[in-house]
Structure 1
Amino acid sequence: MNHVSIRYLGFVAVGFPLFGFLFAVVWSIIHDYEASVRTICHVPNFLPTVSSAIGGFTPQRYIWRICIALQAGLRFLLAFCYFNWHLRIHMGPQQTAYRNGVIFAVSLHVTENLALVILSSISSTDNAEIHEYSFILFMVCSQVYMLVSCLLIGWTHRSGTFKVTPQDVKWLRVKWFLFLFNLTVFLLSVYLYFRHNTYCEPYIYSWFALCEYLTILTNIAFHGLCCVDFRQYSFTVLDTEDISTGRFKNS
């Protein structure tokens, strides 16, 4: 009988998109700088946008797609883990409403991951419409998931059904901070995007790109907190022969 730490799987799941994102941006700056910061306005910029870095050049686009494909299965597995993690707490008379909230949160988690896979696989140059709709779906599910996740955890903390430790309170505050910061920089990026398209000012598109970076990094950090949530949990891998003979009972 072997044990696989869910915390370890969480590190791997967030490590793939983090590596893919950093590789794409750094490689674009080093090897494709002039082309990656160029816009139709022909104004100076100092950073490539995320879409330019991960979708406009090779090998960046392939590294990013491979990383997203590799993390997808683990993210689906973690969504299942979160379903059981939330429902480890019984909320008494509020259990039905709480369970519905958990199902809603996990559905958002799964849909966010699916949208990420689609928008990464189909770039704006391949099919702009599908890419755009996938991005919108990803952002909506991402924001709402973070909000609902924080609300569910806060709900359990106030329920009095289990002992809340100072660490539990601290990590919930971290999650709220990441959510609010993520929402703020995303809204700022939307403003900068439309400002650039309207006025074509120098460097505005790069500030938009920086907000994109921060949105992605805080999203990764939020999901990375699964390593804290599941720090005491692991998967158990059983040999089928041990199950049939009952030997695992003594291990």
Structure 2
Amino acid sequence: MYDFERATHTHCKVPNYLPSISAAIGGFTPQRYIWRTCIGLHSAPRFMVAIAYYNFHMSLELAQHSKTYGIIAAVACFLHIIENAALLGLTYVASNENHGVHEKFFIMFLVSSLLYMLLTLILIKWGRSYHGRVMTSNEKYSLKIKFILFIFNITCCIMAAYTFWRHNAYCEPGAYTTFAISEYGIVASNIMFHFLWMGYDMRNTEWIVLGYRVKLKPYDALV
């Protein structure tokens, strides 16, 4: 609304119709302040969720019989924490302030996010079907949607890398717009993947935060 021309401007000076996320939030106000405030506020609960999800995986019978399963769960938890820390890093170090550091945080976010998704799929499939156990309909649905989001996320990452290269190599009109769309897809699928833990993986569980009890309800109850 206020900074469209500057947010979509690139060194190629070719038509571009969408800003990248970094361009939209990095150099303009109040966008930058809103983004940093929201990411900062929700990062603390996300660190808590990483530990809770580790306990969720380790609560299964398989954790008592397989050291490999426990190691994978611990690595997934570590990647979840790294992903959140990288998100904080790329949020508070804007690309127009220190492009090199911002880029490294962004790559760290992408790599840790994809590896975390992959290990989560392995843990759910392995742990929930261990020793002849039949997965519930909610577990099957959660695994199916997570797999779709994982494939979609990888596809968006490949598209983003390819279109970013095309943009810099050939300065084609619309290449950077396609990169921005791919970037939006990466973020949206990441959000949805993480959001599934509340409605399906940990439905009807009870959390105690600073003495307050919080009961997670399934999606159908929320709707």
TM-score normalised to the size of structure 1? 0.80
Q: Given the alignment, which residue of 103, 108, 123 partners 1:132?
A: 103
Cα distance between partner residues in 1 of 2:63 and 2:157: 37
**Superposed displacement of residue 99, structure 1:** 0.6
Q: Given the alignment, which residue of 85, 92, 113 partners 1:114?
A: 85
Query: What's the counterpart of residue 37 of structure 1?
Result: 8
Counterpart code for 2:139: D
**1:46 aligns to what SS in structure 2?**
coil
Do residues 61 (structure 1) and 32 (structure 2) align?
yes
Query: What's the counterpart of residue 230 of structure 1?
Result: 202
**Greater CA deviation, 153-162 or 172-181?**
153-162
Query: What's the counterpart of residue 191 of structure 1?
Result: 162
**Superposed displacement of residue 237, structure 1:** 5.9
Gaps of 5+ in 1: 1-29, 240-251
Distance 1:158 1:197, change over 3 A: same
Number of residue-to-residue matches in the alignment: 210
**Superposed displacement of residue 124, structure 1:** 1.5
| Native 8 Å contact 1:89 1:161 kept in 2 | no
**Superposed displacement of residue 184, structure 1:** 0.5
Larger radius of gyration: 1
Cα distance between partner residues in 2 of 1:40 and 1:148: 39
Distance 1:104 1:57, change over 3 A: same
Counting aligned pairs with the same residue, the percent is 41
**2:29 aligns to what SS in structure 1?**
coil
RMSD: 1.5
TM-score normalised to the size of structure 2? 0.90
**Superposed displacement of residue 236, structure 1:** 3.3
Distance 1:47 1:224, change over 3 A: same
What is the 5 A alignment of 1:143-222? 143-160=114-131, 162-222=133-193
| Native 8 Å contact 2:63 2:69 kept in 1 | no
**2:66 aligns to what SS in structure 1?**
helix
**Superposed displacement of residue 56, structure 1:** 2.1
What is the 5 A alignment of 1:5-44? 30-44=1-15
Q: Deviations over 1:162-190 (max 9, x none)?
A: 44212211110100000010010111110
| Native 8 Å contact 2:63 2:70 kept in 1 | no
Distance 1:147 1:238, change over 3 A: closer
Counterpart code for 1:66: T
**2:129 aligns to what SS in structure 1?**
helix
| Native 8 Å contact 1:116 1:138 kept in 2 | yes
Q: Given the alignment, which residue of 54, 71, 79 partners 1:83?
A: 54
Distance 1:104 1:161, change over 3 A: farther
Q: Deviations over 1:1-56 (max 9, x none)?
A: xxxxxxxxxxxxxxxxxxxxxxxxxxxxx111111111111101111111111112
Gaps of 5+ in 2: 212-223
